[in-house]
Amino acid sequence: MLRDALLLQLGYNATLVAVGATLLGISAGVTGTFLFLRKRALVSDAISHATLPGICLAFLLMVALGGDGRSLPGLLAGSALSAWIGLLCLNWLTRNTRLAEDAAIGAVLSVFFGFGIVLLTVIQTLGAGRQAGLEGFLLGSTAGMLWADALVIALGGAATLALILLIRRPMTLVAFDPEYAAARGVPVHRVDLAMMGLVMAVTVVGLKIVGLILIVALLIIPPVTARFWTERSDRVVLLSGLTGGLAGYLGAAISASAPNLPTGPIIVLVAFAFFALSLLVAPGRGVLAALLRHFRFQRRVHLRQGLLALAQGQPIFEQLTLRLLRRADLVRADGVATDAGRARAAKALRDETRWQIVRADQTHEAAAALYDGLRDIETVLTRDQIAEIDSRIGGPQEVPA
């Protein structure tokens, strides 16, 4: 079943859902990257919750005009209008009151969502509302998705990606350094509004598949996952879009291959699986990489301390230190230093004396700031500088090359 779902062979509806979820994941991942880099991830939560009153009001309006209220374009238009009003309220509270942004987000989120729940309850008491299925917009509902619904989602995602390509440079500049962007003449406030507008568009487009509660995860998890793998913003954008697209595609396939599995939550869980994998194995920023760096640092400390102990004729009781020295052929099995070990030990002791002089000399202040007890002095000072320091110490000196 899963193989058939991955190959888009489980029927018309499953194919529509998979394609729509993939496009949604790509647009959400790319859009969420700028929100994440701007450190405004919680704004997406306020925007998503602010869509609920618009959905309910759009349904009531369409019913009042003689429709059945279930037209997806109409519901999405209502949610977009409501989300934009919520975004404007959030922006006004942040700019014109003493409320911090997190407090303003909490106010907008709770008020709009509470109002939406009240409207949803009222709708369910109406004769036309019992079959509306509006609660599906909370967590997503892909059952019975029509070609028109998939087309709306695809066009919305494509339009969002096209707008991002047009304004990606000012958004990147504002995300990293808004003060510098303002000095360059970039309208920071308008770029922020445009960024929030793109988030709103993705949120509205994703209501049918993921729902307004879980769309936040699809906006934030992919860029956080991508950030583990690279330091460059353009690559973060690409990897985030790829992660979101794969999460949407695999989540939709898993949901279609098993009965009664909700599509939206499965997509979010797949995205989280990518995040957990990246957290563990990403080079440079992953947990395993950090553990390897820690173990390497620990070994360097033990070797350094062991060499200093050898140079000063002190006994070594730490078994790990002895084991590392033996493995490096610096001591024999009986603990006596080899010729290479004696040479390395003398070099370590002399470097320690050199560092003491460097740290006491203000002319070497920049070099002294790099001292960590392990760094080779040759990586910081030139051979001429080392020779000058050796002349103060006395004894044999290294001849500059």
Q: What is the pLDDT of residues 28-40, one digit of tens each?
A: 899 889 888 888 8
Q: Is residue 68 over pLDDT 90?
A: no
Together in a domain, 211 and 294: no
* Torsion over CA: 25, 1, 133, 62 (sign): positive
Is residue 54 included in any domain, yes or no?
A: yes
> Distance between CA atoms of 310 and 330, rounded to whole angstroms?
10
8 A C-beta contact, residue 69 and residue 128: yes
**335 against 396, higher pLDDT:** 335
Is residue 271 included in any domain, yes or no?
A: no
pLDDT, tens digit, 9 for 90 and up, residues 191-234: 888 888 888 888 888 877 777 778 888 899 999 999 999 988 88
Confidence tier at 275 by pLDDT (50, 70, 90) = very high
Q: What token pair was written down for 109?
A: 């989120």
User: Which stretch of 49-63, 110-124, 131-145, 385-399 has the lowest confidence by average pLDDT?
Assistant: 131-145
* Average pLDDT along the chain: 83
DSSP of 14-30: HHHHHHHHHHHHHHHHH
> Distance between CA atoms of 302 and 244, rounded to whole angstroms?
44
**Count of residues making up the chain:** 401
**Tokens 């992919």 -> residue:** 222
Together in a domain, 243 and 374: no
Together in a domain, 202 and 333: no
Together in a domain, 160 and 31: yes
DSSP letter for 40, please. -
Residue 6's domain comprises 2-265
Confidence tier at 401 by pLDDT (50, 70, 90) = very low
What pLDDT is recorded for position 107?
Answer: 87
Name the percent of the chain lying above pLDDT 90.
12
8 A C-beta contact, residue 221 and residue 275: yes
Is residue 277 included in any domain, yes or no?
A: no
Nearest to 271 by CA among 46, 24, 34, 15: 24
State the pTM of this model.
Answer: 0.78
DSSP of 124-165: HTSTTTTT--TTHHHH---TT--HHHHHHHHHHHHHHHHHHH
